[in-house]
């Protein structure tokens, strides 16, 4: 069940263009300019609740992660960006390497989140998680036949795997995590095994992979957990039927734990409103915001002490997570891309 309060706020919120509005008494209102690669309804609701509670207006600029990075980089010292938000640790790393974040030491936030979700240099912090998991056909795969990501490279799965293209950031970060755990040589052997076992050329989004299993085009797929949840809760009977045809599970429960990626935020290096920027980022860890991530987008909150109501997500949890610092996904991203090129993962 979605948060009624947040839905109402989202419906009534009008996020202004990047300017500083005047209050009725002529004073300049407090604002924060947010450059975000996220496009979820939860975020509009959170911004509205933030403004209601703090009086700080949120001016939103939305685009893809790469577009946002290039825009802030091109604007340089003239950039009005206060907060930069993107999904996937590799893009957070890319923004950090481009010098777009101010060092902010998020470790002193009064919240209890794992240190592996905070950039070691203090440039950005994760506020919501997603796991890259495995789905398999209820009819053609038996429970227990697959336990790990590594199992997918076994020749027994030849012609049976559906997966997205190598240019997808989620796949890049998954392979980057395997580079960290296995080393480059073994990670490349894994990627080659996936290519050898593909049922079709990489294509589509994560929901496309579930549909591929349901249509009998493949038996196993790699996807983010929340796309499955979206299909389970969809108003489209076809999407519901496709989700019902598969079983989803979190791999590597007895080894490294399931791969985890994040959405994260940092304060822009030239932020004109750094105090407001930090206040907004802190708000992402409030009870209301963490609840909205779980209830409205099926993401996994980084705080474990917040209650929320989402039966589909709750049925997936808990699971053993990879404790790798997510910054290493960015550190190993270039290596992952080279591996994809070498093995011919399109």
Q: What is the pLDDT of residues 277-295, one digit of tens each?
A: 999 999 999 999 999 999 9
Euclidean distance between the first and the last CA atom of the chain, given in angstroms as a whole number: 39
Check for a shared fold between 4-129+261-312 and 131-258+328-343: yes
Bridge partners (DSSP) listed for residue 220: 136, 161
3-state SS class at 161: strand
CATH superfamily to which 131-258+328-343 belongs: Periplasmic binding protein-like II (3.40.190.10)
Helix pair angle (169-182, 89-97), 10° resolution:
90
> Omega into 291 within 30° of 0, i.e. cis?
no
Q: Residue-wise pLDDT tens for the chain (346 aa)?
A: 444 333 333 333 333 334 445 445 445 789 999 999 998 889 999 999 999 999 999 999 998 878 899 999 999 999 999 999 999 999 999 999 999 999 998 877 878 889 999 999 999 999 999 999 999 999 999 999 999 999 999 999 999 999 999 999 999 999 999 999 999 999 999 999 999 999 999 999 999 999 999 999 999 999 999 999 999 999 999 999 999 999 999 999 999 999 999 999 999 999 999 999 999 999 999 999 999 999 999 999 999 999 999 999 999 999 999 999 999 999 999 999 999 999 999 9
Note the CATH architecture for domain 4-129+261-312: 3-Layer(aba) Sandwich (3.40)
Residues of the binding site for Fe cation: 39, 226-227
Q: What is the pLDDT of residue 27?
A: 54
The dihedrals phi and psi of 122, each to the nearest 5 degrees, come to 80, 20
Annotated binding site: 39, 226-227
pLDDT digits over 254-281, tens only? 999 999 999 999 999 999 999 999 999 9
Q: What ranges do the domains of the chain cover?
A: 4-129+261-312, 131-258+328-343
The pLDDT of residue 57 is: 98
The CA distances from residue 122 to 35, 72, 106, in Å, are: 19, 19, 6
pTM recorded for the entire structure: 0.90
The answer to whether 115 and 53 have CB atoms below 8 angstroms apart is no
């Amino acid at each position: 069940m979605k948060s009624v309060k947040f839905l109402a706020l989202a419906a009534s919120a009008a996020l202004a263009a990047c300017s500083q509005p005047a209050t009725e008494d002529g004073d300049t209102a407090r604002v924060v300019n947010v450059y975000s690669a996220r496009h979820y309804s939860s975020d509009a609701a959170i911004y509205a609740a933030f403004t209601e509670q703090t009086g700080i207006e949120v001016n939103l600029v939305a685009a893809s992660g790469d577009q946002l990075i290039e825009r802030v980089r091109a604007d340089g010292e003239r950039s009005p960006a206060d907060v930069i938000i993107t999904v996937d640790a590799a893009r957070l790393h890319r923004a950090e390497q481009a010098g777009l974040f101010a060092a902010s030491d998020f470790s002193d936030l009064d919240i209890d989140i794992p240190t592996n979700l905070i950039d070691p240099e203090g440039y950005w912090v994760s506020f919501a998680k997603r796991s890259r998991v495995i789905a398999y056909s209820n009819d053609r795969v038996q429970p227990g036949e697959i336990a790990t990501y590594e199992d997918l490279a076994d020749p027994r799965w030849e012609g049976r795997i559906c997966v997205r293209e190598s240019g997808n950031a989620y796949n890049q970060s998954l392979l980057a995590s395997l580079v960290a755990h296995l080393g480059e040589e073994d990670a490349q052997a894994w990627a080659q095994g996936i290519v050898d076992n593909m049922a079709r050329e990489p294509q589509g989004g994560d929901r496309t992979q579930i549909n591929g299993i349901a249509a009998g085009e493949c038996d196993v797929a790699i996807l983010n957990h929340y796309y499955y949840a979206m299909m389970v809760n969809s108003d489209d009977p076809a999407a519901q039927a496709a989700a019902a045809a598969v079983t989803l599970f979190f791999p590597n429960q007895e080894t490294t734990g399931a791969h985890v990626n994040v959405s994260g935020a940092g304060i822009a290096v030239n932020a004109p409103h750094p105090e407001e920027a930090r206040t907004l980022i802190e708000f992402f860890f409030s009870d209301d915001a963490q609840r909205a991530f779980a209830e409205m987008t099926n993401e996994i909150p980084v705080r474990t002490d917040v209650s929320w109501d989402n039966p589909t997500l709750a049925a997936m949890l808990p699971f053993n997570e990879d404790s790798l610092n997510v910054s290493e996904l960015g550190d190993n991203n270039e290596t992952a891309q080279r591996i994809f090129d070498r093995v011919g993962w399109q």
